[in-house]
């Protein structure tokens, strides 16, 4: 089941939601374009042992 998760674009600062698939594994990384400014964002999803979802969003130039 897909779960909505709020994020903020590291480029334009706009807030919007993404859908996280907890059945895809406890560690997921992918690139998705911002829905507003279309810049590519690195999205890292981690699901801990208590099934809590943690999402980190960064820009391509972030270390």
pTM of structure: 0.85
Render pLDDT for 19-34 as a digit per residue (tens, 0 to 9): 999 888 899 999 999 9
Q: Which domain holds residue 44?
A: 3-59
Number of domains in the chain: 1
Read off the DSSP letter of residue 49: T
17 — pLDDT class (breaks 50, 70, 90): very high
Question: Which of the four pLDDT bands, split at 50, 70 and 90, describes residue 57?
Answer: very high
Do the beta carbons of residue 47 and residue 54 sit within 8 Å? Answer: yes
Q: Which residues are CB-contacts of 26 (< 8 A; sequence separation ≥ 6)?
A: 46, 47, 48
Mean of all residue pLDDT scores within the chain:
92
Instruction: Look at residue 63 and tell me whether its pLDDT is greater than 60.
Output: no
């Amino acid at each position: 089941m897909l779960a909505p998760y709020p994020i903020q674009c590291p480029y334009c600062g706009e807030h919007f939601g993404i859908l996280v698939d907890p059945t895809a594994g406890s560690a997921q990384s992918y690139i998705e374009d911002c829905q507003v400014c279309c810049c590519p964002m690195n999205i890292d999803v981690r699901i801990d042992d208590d099934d809590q979802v943690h999402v980190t969003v960064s820009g391509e130039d972030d270390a």
